[in-house]
Structure 1
């Protein structure tokens, strides 16, 4: 079961976007989030490298929650904690 986005939560399906563009777009959108705000990303593989990036750059400021874990679609919610 997947969780639906809240009315104000942006859902970004990046499956059709080239990987190098994904890694530019997603951090930029996260940086625009206010404290407590969330966004979802939808990808075609486990986005572990992106999670490592957010952990190294944002630390605990970025809360990462898997909402769906494959095998064909991964859906992750990112929340700005501070």
Structure 2
């Protein structure tokens, strides 16, 4: 059984103003079927809503750990099913 590629990003080491830009850059670079595991010091619900607005239906969001000190979320990039491969929708 193969496991999709998972990239882990611990945003606790980043300045708060840098976090979302870094997360979105990594998400945009993920291939369909790959995942980003986010490690944070709080529940990243605002990020979920931002992803949902910008990438509706393109990801799944699963909590791996839910605080109180550490939050881990696995964000899997879904395939759109109609991607031509020549744009940034991957």
TM-score calculated relative to the size of structure 2: 0.80
Unmatched 5+ stretches in structure 2: 80-90
Residues 11-68 of structure 1: CA distance to partner in whole angstroms, max 9, x if unpaired?
A: 1111121111001100010000111111101000000110000000001101111100
Residue aligning to 1:59: 56
Cα root mean square deviation, aligned: 1.3
Do the aligned partners of 2:4 and 2:33 also contact (CA within 8 Å) in 1? no
How far apart, CA to CA, are the structure 2 residues paired with 1:23 and 1:58? Answer: 14
Aligned length, in residue pairs: 77
Query: How far is 1:7 from its partner?
Result: 8.1
Which runs of 4 or more aligned residues in structure 1 lie more than 6 Å from their structure 2 counterparts after TM superposition? none
The answer to whether structure 1 residue 39 and structure 2 residue 49 are counterparts is no
Unmatched 5+ stretches in structure 1: 1-5
TM-score calculated relative to the size of structure 1: 0.88
Q: Residues 35 and 8 from structure 1, CA distance in 2 versus in 1: closer, same or farther, beyond 3 angstroms?
A: closer
The answer to whether structure 1 residue 16 and structure 2 residue 42 are counterparts is no
The answer to whether structure 1 residue 80 and structure 2 residue 47 are counterparts is no
How far apart, CA to CA, are the structure 1 residues paired with 2:70 and 2:64? Answer: 10
